[in-house]
């Protein structure tokens, strides 16, 4: 069978898949959302088959797709772009050329990709960071932390922490003319998980307390205790993310052992001694009524998984499970949630908990939105939604950073 025939075959299956895949009625740019969902589902399906017959690993195709649009550090008339290292970790810096009397604000950017894929090199992120630097006259720092499954938890987090601590040194901030009182940490999807965690860690570290002015979390996942929140159930088949896909990828950050993935799919992965943590993620207590819909809260099933993974009870994987005392001192927070997003309720619970202890939160809920829109702002899959979210976020930064 020739290469062309094979491609044509795939194209036909993709097309059929697109027609067949349902998406929520009111979703914006429905056909594009269908196409992206179909591509992701097919990649996931082929990964599962490929892994089963020993041809490739589950995540290989998804990783490959994410590298298609990698960019080089190209400066333009407004911004100098440099790839370098902070504390031996690759970073991309966006430095505005425009002269400014004042010191500059800074945004630290942590990319998404379920801890397994992604990079600041992705064209959509490169555009976003360039735009942020230009619009705000800000220094932007993108971090390429180590990825799973080659590097397990807490490698990704440690890289983010080291990079940010390096950047926060007085002489480094001075070198880039950054105003130490105007620094924001931003992350999307799993980058949002990392951003939320790093912000907590820094804020609870006496040497770094109050060094971060704001955190911006774009549709992040924030806990791995309960994999059946209402949004996890409602959107288990997509659009964009499916429950199986996200559990499979995220569990690779913990282990390559399939037992964890299987147990998490059944929501029976947590150990007995984690019972006291469930009050922090109890959607019955923290979700606004509107989002509970007709779902019924059931208490967790514990102690079913033989293998023990201490990381499952670690707040550095699930920033939602810190207590109120640790939340209280968190900085100004911006959170974007999308209605049709499996991870929606993680954020809604975090927002409730943050507001309960008096943290100032700006919550942007996109009624017709889907997960990951910020990474779909480049042809051939260009979502206007991505630019809409970008503009709202930049407006917020302009007013608050």
Ligand X SMILES: *[C@@H]1O[C@H](CO)[C@@H](O)[C@H](O)[C@H]1NC(C)=O
Catalytic residues: 189, 341, 371
Name the one range near ligand X by CB under 6 A: 36-44, 74-82, 208-216, 385-393: 74-82
- CA 208/CA 149 separation, integer angstroms: 30
Distances (CA, A) of 52 to 71, 327, 396: 33, 43, 46
Q: Is the peptide bond before 54 cis (omega within 30 degrees of 0)?
A: no
Site string for ligand X, 257-296 (x = CB under 6 A): ---------------------xx--x-xx-----------
**Count of CB atoms situated within 10 Å of the CB of 31:** 10
Q: Shortest distance, CB of residue 326 to ligand X, whole angstroms?
A: 5
Q: Shortest distance, CB of residue 299 to ligand X, whole angstroms?
A: 5
Query: Strand, coil or helix: what is 355?
Result: helix
Of 57, 69, 78, 237, the one binding ligand X by CB under 6 A: 78
Query: Strand, coil or helix: what is 311?
Result: helix
Q: Shortest distance, CB of residue 274 to ligand X, whole angstroms?
A: 10
- State yes or no: residue 299 binds ligand X (CB under 6 A): yes
Query: In this structure, what token pair is assigned to residue 299?
Result: 């208490």
Which is nearer to ligand X, 101 or 299 (by Cβ)? 299
Task: Please report the sign of the dihedral spanned by the C-alpha atoms of residue 323, residue 328, residue 332, residue 337.
Answer: positive
- State yes or no: residue 306 binds ligand X (CB under 6 A): yes
How many residues bind to ligand X according to rule CB under 6 A? 15
| Cα angle 286, 248, 145; round to 5 | 85
Q: Shortest distance, CB of residue 394 to ligand X, whole angstroms?
A: 12
Give 205-229 as a 3 state SS string. CCCCCCCCCEEEEECCCCCCCCCCC
Q: Shortest distance, CB of residue 76 to ligand X, whole angstroms?
A: 4
Of 43, 119, 132, 134, the one binding ligand X by CB under 6 A: 134
Q: Is the separation of the CB atoms in 297 and 248 below 8 Å?
A: no
- CA 286/CA 353 separation, integer angstroms: 7
Of 88, 100, 171, 325, the one binding ligand X by CB under 6 A: 325
Residue 237 DSSP class: T
Name the one range near ligand X by CB under 6 A: 184-192, 321-329, 340-348, 391-399: 321-329
Name the one range near ligand X by CB under 6 A: 35-43, 72-80, 83-91, 381-389: 72-80
Tell me which residues touch ligand X (CB under 6 A): 76-78, 134, 278-279, 282, 284-285, 297, 299, 306, 323, 325-326
């Amino acid at each position: 069978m020739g290469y062309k025939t094979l491609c044509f075959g795939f194209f036909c299956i993709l097309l059929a898949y697109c027609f067949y895949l349902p998406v929520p009625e009111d979703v914006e740019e429905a056909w594009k959302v269908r196409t992206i969902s179909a591509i992701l589902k097919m990649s996931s399906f082929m990964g599962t088959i490929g892994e089963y017959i020993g041809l490739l690993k589950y995540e290989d195709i998804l990783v490959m797709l994410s590298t298609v649009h990698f960019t080089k550090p190209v400066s333009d008339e407004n911004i100098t772009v440099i790839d370098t290292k902070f504390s031996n970790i690759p970073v991309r810096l966006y430095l505005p050329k425009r002269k400014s009397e004042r010191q500059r604000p800074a945004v630290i950017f942590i990319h998404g990709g379920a801890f397994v894929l992604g990079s600041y090199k992705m064209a959509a992120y490169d555009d976003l960071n360039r735009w942020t630097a230009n619009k705000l006259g800000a220094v932007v720092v993108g971090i390429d932390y180590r990825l799973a499954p080659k590097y397990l938890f807490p490698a990704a987090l440690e890289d983010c922490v080291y990079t940010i601590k390096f950047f926060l040194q007085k002489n480094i901030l001075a070198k880039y003319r950054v105003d130490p009182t105007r620094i924001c940490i931003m992350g999307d999807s799993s980058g949002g998980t990392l951003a939320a965690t790093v912000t907590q860690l820094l804020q609870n570290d006496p040497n770094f307390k109050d060094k971060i002015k704001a955190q911006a979390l774009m549709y992040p996942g924030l806990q791995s205790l309960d994999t059946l929140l209402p949004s996890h159930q409602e959107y288990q088949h997509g659009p964009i993310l499916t429950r199986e896909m996200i559990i499979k990828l995220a569990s690779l950050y913990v282990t390559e052992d399939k037992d964890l993935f299987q147990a998490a799919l059944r929501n029976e992965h947590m150990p007995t001694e984690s019972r006291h943590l469930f009050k922090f993620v109890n959607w019955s207590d923290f979700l606004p009524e509107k989002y509970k819909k007709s779902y019924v809260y059931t208490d967790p099933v514990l102690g079913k998984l033989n293998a023990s993974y201490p990381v499952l009870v670690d707040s550095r994987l699930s920033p939602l499970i810190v207590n109120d005392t640790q939340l209280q001192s968190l900085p100004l927070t911006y959170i974007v949630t999308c209605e049709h997003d499996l991870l929606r309720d993680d954020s809604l619970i975090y927002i409730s908990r943050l507001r309960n202890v008096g943290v100032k939160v700006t919550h942007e809920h996109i009624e017709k939105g889907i997960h990951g829109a910020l990474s779909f702002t480049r042809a051939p899959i260009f979502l206007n939604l991505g630019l809409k979210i970008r503009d709202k976020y930049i407006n917020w930064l302009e007013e608050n950073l």
